[in-house]
Amino acid sequence: MTSTASSSIDPADVERFSRIAAEWWDPNGKFAPLHWFNPVRLAFIREQALERFGRDPAARRPFEGLKLLDIGCGGGLLSEPMCRLGFEVLGVDASERNVATASAHAAEQGLPVTYRVATAEQLLAEGAGPFDVILNMEVIEHVVDPGEYLRTCAALLAPGGLMIVATLNRTLKALALAKVGAEYVLRWLPAGTHDWRKFLRPEEVRGFLDGAPVEVAGPFGVAFNPLSGRWSRSNDTDVNYMMTVTRPAA
């Protein structure tokens, strides 16, 4: 699989995540860092979507009637809470094992999340969507051609829609903390999970979408506090950050 009309996915990364797919929902397993990270990600997504679509923050399911695509959904750690908030959710991943894990877990929870093995390029070629919200979380640093991939995802966005991109900054601080520290010192992640050379600076993410009919905002930083063991929003974008991509309403 290379950067073609059918896939921009790096097969080595797909295989790496497939080998540990059964551990997605173990809060103490190999995906524990994502479980720690999830509260701040979910809060940011909810906040941005509430503002974008003018929904009632007090509503139990404020996003009824909106379609959401979770691209690179893994085991469904974001897809499931998005479904609970009222979105009609499609989660896609290039790994069959990830999709099998996500599907089984959603069924156990009685959640009507639709999962399938697919890539952004396949969805666009099939005429899928458009989607009101696209979650592009910790995926872009794993693809072959991040610019083409991001433009493909943006093309799946509905008029008035919102895409949230989360990734890692290509800084020496990120190399020390997110690569060496997380993988080899603290062993939070399996060795080889990330390639620092694929980390992206915010200006690169913004540049990928130059000329596309979208508006890009951010970066919005997030940081880990080792004393509290929690992630929180931060002005520090040197390691982890998020950006929003919005398409003007028609």
Q: What is the DSSP letter of 198?
A: G
Residues 22-28 have a mean pLDDT of: 80
Q: Can you tell me which residue has the tokens 């991939």?
A: 149
> Is 162 exposed, middle or buried, given 0-12, 13-18 or 19+ CB atoms closer than 10 A?
buried
Residue partners of 194: CB distance under 8 A and separation at least 6? 141, 168, 178, 179, 183
Under DSSP, the state recorded for 95 is: -
Average pLDDT over residues 14-21: 58
Q: Which residues are annotated as a binding site for S-adenosyl-L-methionine?
A: 41, 72, 93, 137
Name the pTM for this structure.
Answer: 0.86
At 206, is the secondary structure helix, strand, or coil?
A: helix
pLDDT, residue 55, reads 97
Binding-site entries: 41, 72, 93, 137
On average, the pLDDT of the chain sits at: 86
Dump pLDDT digits (tens) for 211-231.
999 999 999 998 877 767 788
**pLDDT at 224 (0 to 100):** 79
Q: If you average pLDDT over residues 100-105, what whole number do you get?
A: 93
